[in-house]
Amino acid sequence: MEAILADIQANVQYAPYIIFGLLLLAGFNLPVSEDVMLFTSAILAAKNPEYTYLLFAGVFLGAYFSDLICYGFIGRYLGPKLFEIKFFANMVPPERIEKVNQFYSKYGVATLIIGRFIPFGVRNALFLTAGLGKMNAWKFALSDLLACTISCVTFFYLYYTFGESVIEIVKKGNIVIFSVFVLAGLGYFIKKKKAESKVN
């Protein structure tokens, strides 16, 4: 990845297309960091203002189409075929997918907006689950378009304006958001277990 980033910086005229292509690969769950691509494109734009709009378009469209690939191809199309295999079916039981689908139905847009700010692979997990749970395609596409716009504009602006000095702040913010997400998930799980124990 470091060699690729070096090539991107050395060939700024091709950078928007390279970044777009790399982010498409991320949609197939390959280890390409959206955060790194956002940072790279914003820093390049700050140093080469004439490429600002192209760089932003590359990273924004790459991120958005990556989400659609993860939701549509991996989740909706490939997911059901994988889950015909017992190994994968045992990993994520159908009832768990249904519960997540109900959560999406209730908090759909908010889930995607918050989820885009959560690092450590949570984003793709959310998109994949939305596909597996058969979340309405138009609802996902429009909700994710809004979520992607908010996150890409926010991070691109921060990196473009403040450069490397803001990286540590963003990292700490990501850790806080991730921790809140984990605690909320644990709280929901504990609450549900207590409710089930009362019924039994």
Provide the pLDDT for residue 148: 92
Give CA angle at 5 (53, 122), nearest 5°: 80
Provide the pLDDT for residue 88: 57
> Maximum CA pair distance of the chain?
65
3-state helix, strand, coil in the chain (%, to 5): 85, 0, 15
pLDDT tens per residue across all 200 residues of the chain: 566 667 777 788 999 999 999 999 988 888 888 888 998 999 999 999 999 999 999 999 999 999 999 899 888 888 777 667 665 555 556 666 666 666 666 766 777 777 777 765 667 777 887 888 778 889 889 989 998 999 899 999 999 998 877 776 666 665 555 565 556 556 656 666 666 666 55
